[in-house]
Amino acid sequence: MSSETLEEYLEAIYKLAERDDARPSRLADAMSVSAPTVTAALKRLKARGLVTRPGGSIALTASGRSEALSIIRRHRLAERLLVDVLGMPWEDVHEEACRLEHALSPKVQAALEAYLENPDVCPHGHPIPSAEGEVALPTGEPLCGYGTGSDVEIVRIDEEDEQLLTYLASLGMYPGTRVRVCDVAPFQGPLMVEVGGSRYALGRDIAGKIVVDAPSVGVDRKGRRKP
């Protein structure tokens, strides 16, 4: 198993731990591999002092967390490069960033960050860890929890699914976009929202993946937090 593959495991474990769902079965789903493959990877990570296995779950050690944040930093900077500089659609950049992240040295990361004017978040709204391993705590709540008349701003998209991102892009729903909840149907029905003067019906499942906050709390389209 290559070092690049083990880095992908650390990244996946960190993201699962953010949701308190770092279990071997969920890791297998996230990595699209079998349970025995996950077991073998976890043994290697544990031998390197990067993970522990409390109660059958998976936890990153301090070293493991530091390494995971370094990988995530490279990945999210690569995504910003692909979107902001190369003009790629945000739904297409995840896999490409996975390839690039392993080749970005600290010197290249620093130069890229300066060129991009120090973005705080990736194109999907997730915070970019600093070179020192610090990361901002996520803010906001799912759009599905807001009622009629709410004026909010998109902070991030919690699931980087290609079809979902393509659909949201067609509606103009990116981090930094203002959204007004016009109506909420009863019995877990859809939300009617207004975006840029147009109205759309969003199912609860989709609205649950759109994290929003009060207007002017979020970021601009270049990933910089608003003052």
Measured in degrees and rounded to the nearest 5, phi and psi for residue 60 equal: -80, 140
User: What's the pLDDT band for 219 if we cut at 50, 70, 90?
Assistant: low
**Which of 60, 85, 102 is a domain's end point?**
60
Q: What is the mean pLDDT of residues 185-213?
A: 95
For residue 52, being part of any structural domain is answered with: yes
pTM, entire model: 0.88
Q: List, as one string, the DSSP characters of 71-127.
A: HHHHHHHHHHIIIIIT---GGGHHHHHHHHGGG--HHHHHHHHHHTT--SB-TTSPB
pLDDT at 225: 65
pLDDT for the residue 94 = 92
pLDDT of residue 19: 86
Does residue 223 belong to any structural domain of this protein? no
Please name every residue paired with 154 in a beta bridge, in sequence order, or none if there are none: 212
Which of these ranges, 36-40, 65-69, 157-161, 207-211, has the smallest mean pLDDT?
157-161
**Of 60, 81, 98, which residue constitutes the final position of a domain?**
60
The closest alpha carbon to 75, from 124, 38, 42, belongs to 124
**Based on the structure, what is the number of domains in the chain?**
2
CATH code where residue 174 lies: 2.30.30.90
Burial readout 123-133 (b: 16 or more C-beta within 10 A, e: otherwise): bbbbbbbeeee
State residue 39's pLDDT score. Answer: 94
- Could you say which DSSP state residue 219 is in? B
User: Where are any strands of DSSP class E within the chain?
Assistant: 51-52, 59-60, 141-142, 151-157, 178-184, 191-195, 198-202, 210-213
Asked, for residue 132, whether it belongs to a domain, the answer is no
Asked if residue 206 belongs to a domain, the reply is yes
Task: Give the residue numbers spanning the domain of 152.
Answer: 141-213
Q: How many CB atoms lie within 10 A of CB 66?
A: 15
Residue 195 lies in a domain: yes
For 168, the token pair is 């949201």
Does residue 122 lie within any of the structural domains?
A: no
In a domain, residue 225? The reply is no
Confidence of residue 195 (pLDDT cuts 50, 70, 90): very high
Last residue of a domain, one of 42, 60, 78: 60
| Residue 15 belongs to domain with CATH number | 1.10.10.10
Tell me the two tokens of residue 71. Answer: 């990988």
In this predicted structure, the answer to whether residue 223 has a pLDDT above a threshold of 80 is no
